[in-house]
Chains A and B, each alone.
Chain A
Amino acid sequence: MKIQRLGLVASVALVGSLALSACGSDNNASGSGSSDTASGSSSNASAADCGPDGGGTLNAEGSSAQKNAIEEAISSFQDKCSGTTVNYNPSGSGAGIKQFIAGQVDFAGSDSALKKTEKDGKIEADEAAKYCGSPAWNLPMVTGPIAVAYNVKGVDKLVLTPEVTANIFNGKITTWNDPAIAKVNSGVTLPSQPIKVFFRSDESGTTENFTKYLKAAAPNAWTAEPGKAWTGKGEGKQKSDGVAGAVKSTEGGITYAEWSYAKDNSLGIAQIDNGAGPVELTGDSVGKAVAAAKPDGEGNDLRLKLDYATKEAGAYPILLVTYEIVCSKGKDAKKAELTKAFLKHFASEETQKSLEEIGYAPLPAEVQAKVETAIGALS
């Protein structure tokens, strides 16, 4: 009896699994068939733009600051080139570089170029070159301006100088009608409210770039070393979402956050006056600052040295540049070709323009041209 029952169960399971697997293989066949034809037709249309015939999959990992930008680029790339898949895991710059060096991903996204100084007995740039068997290149791809966002009733326009900003964020200026703020905002009625500073409680590239700016532009007021962990005063909230949300719900609040978060929460965005007059945060003003950055790498390794203290008129100085880190000579020819195609799409004028709507600034023309040359030289 028992054996019979077991047999019954087993046979039901067997029939079931056969039936299921039959369905499965059917689907697979039709699925792969259709994608074959699709990719075939698209590769006819624009063979050079979509990488190798038959598509393929790219895996990338890294900076969460460029997450929205790269997702936008991925979706338009996949629309254009069916049969290709690009996965991006926004696990943080450090993790991305680590995975890249370990050969787990095809390229990495990072808030900062590969370091050339030693840390824990390792030099990132050398480790990456060792893995690639050729120098690894840093290609600036996305520029994300950092907004100084505030919530003060009745104040639609606020101008801040580096000193004032630094003193607000290190707790020396504590009320909105402080003479130092009033001095650079003549004609604006400032309330006597206390200033509530919010910072990122998680370690982030945004904090690092913001403190780098404060340190470079106001070295006397901001004495702490720039870093991913916050060193000023205030109240910490988790991620950009947390700080922007906190400012929105707290009158008198101020924080630093990526542009898109300030826009989405309709917070006031301060104009920054580095010495050449107040500059509003726009795609153009950010582009000017990126164009003013000095190249810091050799040849096609396009690491940029941002001049946070720039006095160039109309340049918005607080921004971060995220890089895509790739092997200059790919290990796997097919993957390299696909990487090249995707990065070319990402750097194209059209894609860069589409990023402005989601809170990033497009690469300025000069930098974009250099990036395209570098991508052309990838092999």
Chain B
Amino acid sequence: MSTVTGVSVADTPGPDDRGPQGDRASTGRAGDRVFSGLATGSGALVIALVTLVGVFLLWQAIPAIADDKDNFFLSRAWDVNDTSNLRFGIVELLWTTVVASTIAMLIAVPVGVCVALFITQYSPRWLARPAASLVDLLAAVPSIIYGFWGIKTFGPKYQPFQDFLLDKLGWFPLFSKTSVSGTGTILFIGIVLAIMILPIVTALSREVFAQTPVAHKEGALALGATKWEMIRTAVLPFGRPGVISAAMLALGRALGETIAVTIIVSALAPGTKWSWSLLNGGETFASRIANNAQEFDSPAKTGAFIAAGLVLFVLTFVVNAIARIVIERRKAFTE
């Protein structure tokens, strides 16, 4: 049988010369059915996974939260060994997690966008590719390496900066002196996290910036815009939804980052005075769970940690939802 690619059985006229039948051509063949089945199945699988994770977290967490003698959202205690007298709350974990991730975003998003602009708009072609791959390589470094690198190599280099902050800006509540001495501070975790999420922001932003229609860019230039004005009026608005989703993906990683944070951070002793300082220690949701996972010896105790995990899950979900809404809004404005 001689075949011409792209010609299917449905295209060849049948015995009664009815000609091609559109419906059968698109859905009737085995390949179509299999592929649409696979795609639908994968979609359903993801939805089912997320739902099941949520259900599991709720299932395990609710009994523990119900047994909690303190206010789950406001308590700073974490005393879960006496199962008849559980006292735990998430306010410190929430604070550390959110603040460290915010610092990371404040550093990584502007820098990441600039790197992406450099690669797509400014750099010569011979440099763009290697530069892009190098940034992507950062994403391939396992987080435990970032942790050790942070504590052994970067920490000592960063210490003078922190000492300077303490010395000159110590009067400002965010930089006030705390019981934490070295580099196990929220600010330092934020900086290390920023480096970890930089490649995510860069890679995704680069993709969208590269897709700015040439007509837009040339139009801007033809109207007399300088290169910066062209970027501001053509590239950035076009790429904005992409940058926002990149930032949200990165934020998700920052919120959930575990090993690097666990290695670097200094946990606070129970009963330490509350401080707004970024130079304080603390534990994030993920680091506290990971740090104690080996000693989950009773369901009630495990439940307490899973409850913390549930809050992290919800937090990530809310952040993503907000991002979706923002992107939808932007679309409405630009179109």
Task: Name A's B-contacting residues (CB within 8 A).
Answer: 1, 64, 91-92, 94-95, 97-98, 119-120, 196, 199, 201-204, 227-238, 242, 245-246, 249-250
Contact = CB atoms under 8 A, between A and B. Distances in A.
Given A120-B298, A233-B269, 18 more contacts: A1-B3, A64-B294, A91-B294, A92-B294, A95-B296, A98-B297, A201-B267, A202-B291, A229-B270, A233-B179, A233-B272, A235-B182, A235-B267, A235-B268, A235-B281, A236-B281, A237-B266, A249-B182
A229 B181 CA distance: 21
A228 B295 contact: yes
A94 B283 CA distance: 23
Contacts of B151: 245
B21 interface: no
B252 interface: no
Interface majority SS (helix, strand, loop, mixed), chain B: loop
Contacts of A201: 266-267, 283, 291
A25 B267 CA distance: 53
Given A235-B267, A249-B182, A250-B182, A229 B297 contact: no
Contacts of A246: 182, 184, 266
B67 to A, nearest CB: 12
Most buried by B among A91, A95, A98, A202: A202
23 contacts: A92-B294, A94-B296, A97-B297, A98-B297, A119-B83, A119-B298, A120-B299, A201-B266, A201-B291, A202-B294, A204-B295, A227-B81, A230-B270, A231-B270, A234-B269, A235-B180, A235-B269, A235-B281, A237-B184, A237-B267, A242-B263, A249-B156, A250-B182
Given A94-B295, A98-B297, A250 B267 contact: no
A236 B81 CA distance: 18
Contact of A232 (B156, B180, B182, B269): B269
A94 B281 contact: no
Main secondary structure of the interface of A (DSSP, over half): loop
A246 to B, nearest CB: 7
Contacts of A64: 294
Interface in B148-188: 151, 156, 179-182, 184
B191 to A, nearest CB: 18
Given A234-B269, A238-B262, A242-B263, A94 B297 contact: yes
Given A94-B295, A236-B281, A229 B262 contact: no
B234 interface: no
A239 to B, nearest CB: 8
Contacts of B300: 120
